[in-house]
């Protein structure tokens, strides 16, 4: 073996090792355990229980007896019907194009804590035997700590979005002004608002490849913006959620989960806030808006 070959072998080995170390490091950093969404007794964020449970998922999901009143994944909480949400669209900015739906979809799941109207340990199926309550209830004797909550409900800080969503980025809004539909992997229609990643625009204005994708999974039409060129939906992509607009069923909508992944707090050094794409250089915004 000549030195060049040996060199390349060493480089190869080093490369693999470095990748291995990176993987191990990011796998560790990516976990929900170290985030503000660990509300269990092991939580290290501002708010969590000091007496209750060391289970993490149970504050949001249950394997059995979940809430089926909205399209939310195995949701373990009551979904507030008392809150009357005020929508961004009621500000009537002259530039808004897309139809806006009542708050629903996955955004309801986020707001079942973030509108501040109900305790974060409201559960339909609390840990252990006999913990089921169809309308959702707080397990007895749980104790909360943290400056941004009162008796387990978010309060005070900006993380309590409240029911007034006029001052928040629109949600339940048709993607790109509406128009796009999907069938069997084909996206058709034109955007009413052309300044968005779409079948016609396949790269971000900061030069990343971004492909608007759709597919039928089971009988559900799904939409996403593929940012890692994998062709399949993944953690690095922007999720759009399927909802029914006046123009028809199966249309892509922007919801809280389009920008946020509630399980991963950080995707870059200046990037907390559970973003799907880093906020550095506004990459998250430019993953949809072509500006």
Identify which of residues 12 and 169 has a Cβ nearer to ligand HEC in the complex: 169
CB half-sphere exposure, 242, CA atoms < 13 A: 16
Identify which of residues 11 and 100 has a Cβ nearer to ligand HEC in the complex: 100
Identify which of residues 3 and 95 has a Cβ nearer to ligand HEC in the complex: 95
d(CA 214, CA 187): 6
Identify which of residues 167 and 216 has a Cβ nearer to ligand HEC in the complex: 167
d(CA 262, CA 114): 12
- Shortest approach of ligand HEC to residue 112 CB, angstroms? 6
Binding-site ranges for ligand HEC (CB under 6 A): 32, 36-37, 39, 45-47, 56-57, 59-61, 73, 93, 95-98, 106-107, 109-114, 120, 148, 157-159, 161, 169-171, 173, 175-177, 193, 238-239, 254, 256-260, 262-263, 265, 272-274, 279, 284-285, 287-289
d(CA 195, CA 73): 31
* Closest by Cα among 253, 264, 203 to 224: 253
Identify which of residues 2 and 94 has a Cβ nearer to ligand HEC in the complex: 94
Identify which of residues 8 and 209 has a Cβ nearer to ligand HEC in the complex: 209
> Is-contact 91 101, C-beta < 8 A?
no
Identify which of residues 33 and 130 has a Cβ nearer to ligand HEC in the complex: 33
d(CA 65, CA 127): 12
**Checking phi first, is residue 278 left (phi over 0); if not, alpha (psi -120 to 50) or beta?**
beta
Sequence-distant contacts of 33-40: CB under 8 A, at least 24 apart:
34/265, 35/263, 35/264, 35/265, 35/274, 36/265, 37/262, 37/263, 37/265, 37/274, 39/120, 39/121
- With b for 16 or more beta-carbon neighbours within 10 A and e for fewer, the 247-278 pattern comes to eeebbbbbbbbbbbbbbbbbbeeebeebbbbb
């Amino acid at each position: 073996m000549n030195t060049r070959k040996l060199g390349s072998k060493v480089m190869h080995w080093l490369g693999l090792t470095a990748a291995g170390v990176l993987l191990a490091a990011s796998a560790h950093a990516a976990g929900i355990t170290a985030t503000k969404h660990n509300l269990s007794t092991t939580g290290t964020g501002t708010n969590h229980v000091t007496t209750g449970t060391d289970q993490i998922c149970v504050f949001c999901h249950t394997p059995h007896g979940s809430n089926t009143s909205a399209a939310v994944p195995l949701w373990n909480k009551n979904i507030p019907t008392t809150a009357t949400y005020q929508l961004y669209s009621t500000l009537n900015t002259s530039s808004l194009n897309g139809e806006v739906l009542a708050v629903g979809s996955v955004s309801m799941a986020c707001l079942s804590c973030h509108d501040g109207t109900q305790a974060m340990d409201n559960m339909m199926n609390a840990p252990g035997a006999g913990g089921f309550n169809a309308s959702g209830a707080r397990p007895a004797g749980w104790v909360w700590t943290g400056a941004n909550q009162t008796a387990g409900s978010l309060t005070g800080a900006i993380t309590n979005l409240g029911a007034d969503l006029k001052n928040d980025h629109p949600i339940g809004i048709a993607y790109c002004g509406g128009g796009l539909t999907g069938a069997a992997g084909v996206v058709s229609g034109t955007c009413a608002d052309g300044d968005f990643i779409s079948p016609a625009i396949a790269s971000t204005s900061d030069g990343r490849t971004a492909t608007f994708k759709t597919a039928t999974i089971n009988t559900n039409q799904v939409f996403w913006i593929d940012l890692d060129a994998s062709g399949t939906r993944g953690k690095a992509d922007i999720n759009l959620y399927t909802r029914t607009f006046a123009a028809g069923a199966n249309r892509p909508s922007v919801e809280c989960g389009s920008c946020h992944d509630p399980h991963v707090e950080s995707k870059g050094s200046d990037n907390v806030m559970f973003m799907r794409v880093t906020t550095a250089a506004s990459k998250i915004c430019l993953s949809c808006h072509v500006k």
